[in-house]
Amino acid sequence: MEWLQQLINGISLGSIYALIALGYTMVYGIIKLINFAHGDVFMIGAFIGFFAIARWGLGFFPALILAMVVCAILGVLIERIAYKRLRNATRIAALITAIGVSLLIEYTTIFFRGAQPEAYPDVIPNKSFHFLGAQISMQSIMILSVSIVLMIILQFIVHKTKIGKAMRAVSYDEEAARLMGINVDNTISITFAIGSALAGAAGVIFGIYYTKIDPLMGIIPGVKAFVAAVLGGIGIIPGAVAGGMVLGVVETVVSALGFSLWRDAAAFVILILILIFRPSGIFGKNTREKV
Amino acid sequence: MKKSKVFWIYVAIALVVYAVVQFMISSGNFDMYYSNLFITIAINVILAVSLHLVIGITGQFSIGHAGFLAVGAYVSAIFTTNLGWPFPIALLMGAIAAAIAGLIVGIPTLRLKGDYLAIATLGFAEIIRIIFLNIDYVGGAAGMQVDYLTTWTYAFFVALITVVVISNFTNSRHGRACIAVREDEVAADSMGINTTYYKVLAFAIGSFFAGLAGGLFSHNFFIIQPSQFGFLKSFDILIYVVLGGLGSLSGSIIAAILLTVISLYLQDFPETRMIIYSLVLIIVMLYRPAGLMGTKEVTDLFKFGKKSKGGNVNE
Amino acid sequence: MSNLLLKVEDVGIHFGGLKAVSDLNMEMYQGELIGLIGPNGAGKTTSFNMLTGVYKPTEGVITFDGKKMNNMSPHQVTKSGVSRTFQNIRLFKELSVLDNVKVANHSLAHHSVFSSILRLPSHFSGEAKMERESIEFLKIFGLDKYMHELAKNLPYGMQRRLEIARALAAKPKLLLLDEPAAGMNPQETHDLMELIALIREKFDLTILLIEHDMGLVMGICERIYVLDHGQLIAHGSPEEIRHNPKVIEAYLGEEVAE
């Protein structure tokens, strides 16, 4: 039952990617920006969770919610301060700014607390169950259930609430949405808030699962989550979840086959294959330029 | 005739700079610290100018230039250190290997546009890095010992050749074709420009010179490791091109020189350096998104040539 | 009549499930000036895009000068002698007026990349020839005095002229003009039409002209094709088209809808 074990590990990792990828995909869907700083919001979430649990003695859920709130605020600040002016700038300027914001968050964090890693405290009892020969830890179950609950809430917000309707309208046609009386600025800010909150949650979950966090931890998962978003079809919410899961499972399988040093390459190989053969992603529709 | 006169004036100035620095080094007035600074400046100028051709002239947003730097660094190091070939030939082999890597990366990815191309080139650079990480022959993560062979003379003349070649390329029908691709790919195609050919060509030339820079880079240290060629290195090069002004050859050279000097002074405070770097990047993008020089050249400022566009240092 | 230059047989294209153009049949003979008209959204520009290789037709055959063009990319189409202008001006904005024309002259030059990098004599002679020829085209259009201006700084009417000058610099046999007079006032339009007649004579061109405004093409075109909803609804001399009930209906229908 080795494969079942790997599948479970892969899904646990994949759900972390999925949570980060959701923020990428929502932001890209609404303002067509690859928010490189998103991985760093994830890192900040992990640190907030760490301080909440280890220093202030909060439990898992209060820490999770605190991290989400702080990250939501951070996301809105990033958007208002850096990205808002760039709405009509070139894509290159926007991408460079996003890289700048990412570096700024990383090195400001290092400046204040150093680059050394931190060990995450145990908040979830380290129990595990046996199921069809596979070992399922309490943490895996926790990760998965938190991720699923958050995704259901997100789905509800996007499809059943007024703000969700506004988000979809703005991502479809910003100008038309504005003419219909939608407050585009607020809608974009709320999108950043929700996406960043999900990244914050992913940070806390990552810390608990992998137990080690550091100020540069957001770079690789951030880029991989973007790969997941592209894989699922950027701008498509269920696509981000599916892409994250696929990526998590593939990486776990590559590691299990004894190629753990190649694990990071797997994500990029997938990225390039998908960009070349199906750039619109698994769930995406093809669009063409109007001449 | 006026154009080529201006061009030769610049070459003469460059040669004077070379001679002065060389004199200071050989007379012992410059210690290792300064000679290293000048070599690093030359290497970064090569990197900036080679990426300028890809992004500034052809408009292809590649953010994985460190991958080609890595190919040049490792391949040339294998030729000198492991095979005992002469340094100049090893440099050339590294550059050719990087150009081939450029073709392999460019042919499939250059059909992508904008953000997608950016992220694909970033991915390829990372794959290249991971490949070196996994080859025991070049020492894996621990790195590879390399002979110290790079001198100011090598660095300077390779940089000069790079600038002349890329400037000559830009100021010809081929360079104009690349600028047309940057400006409007559909229109360029409809005007008879083989857009794929020129995108791949610019990418391969850019990779070739990045490979040359890689050879100089690796032989300027005693050891190279895959971790030196990560995202951050790619972003460093990107920053030269963008801050200098997309489309401005002299802008990218000036930015490379300035930023190399600044980061040397801040090398004892790496976090501060990165914070300043990133703030400058954000502020420039928000308030002067065209970069310091825009698409203008130093030559335009002194009204040597006629009013211009593109990248014409020797027009 | 003189020899057949362009033959379009049962050409159609669909995007996903949507049929944009279907069963398009056209013939153009050497030296003709033909109009392609139709209401907004009739498929005129889509047809142009198929003729120039921007879109690949999903059915039918396009033959130009005896060669099948269906699978050619735009630059190959241009090299075989068809060039075009764009309805929504697509100049190279950051290039000078002269360089815009030089770009179109690109495929007529032969000096290689190596020759340019090493500044061999062939580079200088090649570039000089491109410059001479490009300036000549600019003179015809009265644009030579703006030679060193950036294309984006030209007034609108001049930009339209530059589009045509650029297309002409590729030395086509067949020139496709996509609403060249769009946005011009009557005087400018009149001048432009005279200019088109002039270049046609001078360069022995065959011209296909898209126009939204029916009155405009009536005066200068020998034959007219009319598209509506992606279908060819009529074809004939201006006089025949003027009295064709289907054409009147298509245009009237539009006016009512507007």
**Res B315: pLDDT:** 34
Do C191 and C218 contact (CB within 8 A), yes or no? no
Residues 180-219 of B with CB under 8 A from C: 180, 183-184, 186-195, 201
Ranges of H-type helices in chain B: 2-26, 32-51, 65-77, 87-109, 114-133, 152-170, 173-183, 185-190, 195-218, 231-244, 249-265, 270-287, 298-301
Who wins on pLDDT, C17 or A216? A216
State chain C's mean pLDDT as an integer. Answer: 88
A9 falls within a domain = no
Question: Are the Cβ atoms of A291 and C15 closer than 8 angstroms?
Answer: no
- In this predicted structure, which of B170-184, B245-259, C240-254 has the lowest mean pLDDT? C240-254
Question: Are the Cβ atoms of A288 and C86 closer than 8 angstroms?
Answer: no
Return the top range by mean pLDDT from B15-29, B48-62, B255-269.
B48-62
Instruction: Tell me: do C98 and C160 sit in the same domain.
Output: yes
Instruction: Tell me: do C77 and C107 sit in the same domain.
Output: no
**Res B313: pLDDT:** 38
The Cα–Cα gap between C192 and A235 comes to 46
**Res A285: pLDDT:** 64
CB of C117 less than 8 A from some CB of B: yes
Q: Give the torsion sign (CA, B285, B288, B290, B293).
A: negative
- Chain A residue numbers with beta carbons less than 8 Å from the beta carbon of B118 are 34, 95
Q: What is the mean pLDDT of residues A189-202?
A: 94
Minimum Cα–Cα distance from B180: chain C residue: C92
CB of C116 less than 8 A from some CB of B: yes
**Res C75: pLDDT:** 94
**Res C250: pLDDT:** 80
**Res B314: pLDDT:** 37
* pLDDT tens figures, C9-18: 999 998 877 8
**Res B140: pLDDT:** 84
Question: Are the Cβ atoms of B309 and C99 closer than 8 angstroms?
Answer: yes
CB of C82 less than 8 A from some CB of B: no
Q: Is the pLDDT of residue A51 over 70?
A: yes
**Res B156: pLDDT:** 95
Q: Is the pLDDT of residue C81 over 70?
A: yes
Confidence label for B310 from pLDDT (cuts 50, 70 and 90): very low
Q: Where are the domains of chain B?
A: 2-6+34-301
- In this predicted structure, which of C12-26, C102-116, C140-154 has the lowest mean pLDDT? C12-26
CATH topology of domain B2-6+34-301: ABC transporter involved in vitamin B12 uptake, BtuC (1.10.3470)
CB of A162 less than 8 A from some CB of C: no
**Res C181: pLDDT:** 85
Q: What is the mean pLDDT of residues B267-291?
A: 86
**Res C19: pLDDT:** 84
Do A156 and A149 contact (CB within 8 A), yes or no? no
Look at chain A and report how many structural domains it folds into: 1
- Residue B268 φ/ψ, nearest 5 degrees: -80, -10
Q: Is the pLDDT of residue A220 over 60?
A: yes
The Cα–Cα gap between B152 and B110 comes to 35
C16 falls within a domain = yes
* pLDDT tens figures, C160-188: 999 999 999 999 999 999 988 888 888 88
* Residue C189 domain boundaries: 1-81+172-258
Residue A92 has its nearest CB partner, among B61, B124, B186, at: B61
Question: Are the Cβ atoms of C113 and B191 closer than 8 angstroms?
Answer: no
* Residue A166 domain boundaries: 18-218
**Res A261: pLDDT:** 79
- Assign 3-class secondary structure to chain A: CHHHHHHHHHHHHHHHHHHHHHHHHHHHHHHCCCCCCHHHHHHHHHHHHHHHHHHCCCCHHHHHHHHHHHHHHHHHHHHHHHHHHHCCCCHHHHHHHHHHHHHHHHHHHHHHHCCCCEECCCCCCCCEEEECCEEEEHHHHHHHHHHHHHHHHHHHHHHHCHHHHHHHHHHHCHHHHHHCCCCHHHHHHHHHHHHHHHHHHHHHHHHHHHCEECCCCCHHHHHHHHHHHHHHCCCCHHHHHHHHHHHHHHHHHHHHCCCHHHHHHHHHHHHHHHHHHCCCCCCCCCCCCCC
Look at chain C and report how many structural domains it folds into: 2
Mutant choice from C75, C100, C147 vs B, greatest count of B C-beta within 10 A: C75
Helical (H) or strand (E) element with B223: strand B223-224
Domain boundary among C133, C153, C170: C170
Percent with pLDDT over 70 in chain B: 93
**Res C63: pLDDT:** 92
Q: Is the pLDDT of residue B7 over 90?
A: no
Which chains neighbour B (Cβ–Cβ under 8 Å, 3 or more pairs)?
A, C
Q: Is the pLDDT of residue B60 over 90?
A: yes
Q: Is the pLDDT of residue A289 over 60?
A: no
Q: Is the pLDDT of residue A106 over 70?
A: yes
The alpha-carbon gap from A16 to the nearest alpha carbon of chain C, in Å, equals 36
Q: What is the mean pLDDT of residues A101-110?
A: 94
Question: Are the Cβ atoms of B124 and A110 closer than 8 angstroms?
Answer: no
**Res C212: pLDDT:** 74
DSSP per residue, chain C: ---EEEEEEEEEEEETTEEEEEEEEEEEETT-EEEEE-STTSSHHHHHHHHTTSS--SEEEEEETTEE-TT--HHHHHHTTEEE--SS----TTSBHHHHHHHHHGGG----HHHHHTT-HHHHHHHHHHHHHHHHHHHHTT-GGGTTSBGGGS-HHHHHHHHHHHHHHT--SEEEEESTTTT--HHHHHHHHHHHHHHHHHHT-EEEEEES-HHHHHHH-SEEEEEETTEEEEEE-HHHHHH-HHHHHHHHHHHHH-
**Res B311: pLDDT:** 40
Q: What is the mean pLDDT of residues B214-229?
A: 93
Helical (H) or strand (E) element with B145: strand B144-145
Domain with C194 in it: what CATH number? 3.40.50.300
Question: Are the Cβ atoms of C111 and B172 closer than 8 angstroms?
Answer: yes
A12 falls within a domain = no
Instruction: Tell me: do C61 and C180 sit in the same domain.
Output: yes
Q: Is the pLDDT of residue B186 over 60?
A: yes
**Res C189: pLDDT:** 86
**Res A139: pLDDT:** 81
Instruction: Tell me: do C53 and C125 sit in the same domain.
Output: no
Q: What is the mean pLDDT of residues B24-30?
A: 85
**C18-29 and C4-15 as β-strands: parallel, antiparallel, unpaired?**
antiparallel
**Res C39: pLDDT:** 83
Confidence label for C254 from pLDDT (cuts 50, 70 and 90): low
- Please report, for residues A2, A86, A217, B80, C7, the alpha-carbon distance to residue A99 in angstroms, rounded to integers and kept in the order given: 40, 14, 15, 36, 52
- Please report, for residues B192, B219, C75, the alpha-carbon distance to residue C82 in angstroms, rounded to integers and kept in the order given: 10, 53, 9
Instruction: Tell me: do C112 and C72 sit in the same domain.
Output: no
* pLDDT tens figures, C117-168: 999 999 999 999 999 999 999 999 999 999 999 999 999 889 999 999 999 9
**Res C122: pLDDT:** 94
ipTM above 0.85, yes or no: yes
Q: What is the mean pLDDT of residues B28-52?
A: 92
Do A283 and A236 contact (CB within 8 A), yes or no? yes
Q: What is the mean pLDDT of residues A211-231?
A: 90
**Res C185: pLDDT:** 85
Q: What is the mean pLDDT of residues A158-179?
A: 88
Q: What is the mean pLDDT of residues A173-183?
A: 87
- Residue B193 φ/ψ, nearest 5 degrees: -90, 125
Q: What is the mean pLDDT of residues B174-202?
A: 95
Q: What is the mean pLDDT of residues A83-90?
A: 83
Instruction: Tell me: do C181 and C77 sit in the same domain.
Output: yes
**Res B191: pLDDT:** 93
Do A199 and A23 contact (CB within 8 A), yes or no? yes
Confidence label for B308 from pLDDT (cuts 50, 70 and 90): very low
Q: What is the mean pLDDT of residues C79-102?
A: 93
The Cα–Cα gap between B124 and B58 comes to 19
Look up residue C87 and give its two tokens: 């309805």
Do C35 and C225 contact (CB within 8 A), yes or no? yes
A200 falls within a domain = yes
**Res B302: pLDDT:** 58
Q: What is the mean pLDDT of residues A84-105?
A: 87
Confidence label for A209 from pLDDT (cuts 50, 70 and 90): confident
Chain B residues at the A interface, defined by Cβ less than 8 Å, are 55, 61, 63, 108-109, 111-112, 114-116, 118-120, 122-124, 126-127, 130-131, 133-134, 186, 231, 235, 238-239, 242, 246, 271-272, 274-275, 277-279, 281-282, 285-286, 289
Q: Is the pLDDT of residue B152 over 70?
A: yes
Q: Give the torsion sign (CA, C238, C244, C247, C249).
A: positive
Q: Is the pLDDT of residue B106 over 80?
A: yes
C87 falls within a domain = no
Contacts of B6 by beta carbon, 8 Å cutoff, 6+ apart: B299, B304, B305, B314, B315
**Res B3: pLDDT:** 62
CB of A287 less than 8 A from some CB of C: no
Domain boundary among C131, C146, C170: C170
Q: What is the mean pLDDT of residues C76-90?
A: 92
Percent with pLDDT over 90 in chain A: 36
A3 falls within a domain = no
C225 falls within a domain = yes
**Res A265: pLDDT:** 86
Confidence label for B304 from pLDDT (cuts 50, 70 and 90): very low
Q: What is the mean pLDDT of residues C68-80?
A: 91
C86 falls within a domain = no
Mutant choice from C54, C76, C103, C114 vs B, greatest count of B C-beta within 10 A: C103
What is the C-alpha R_g of chain C? 19
Residue B152, amino acid: W
Q: What is the mean pLDDT of residues A7-20?
A: 90
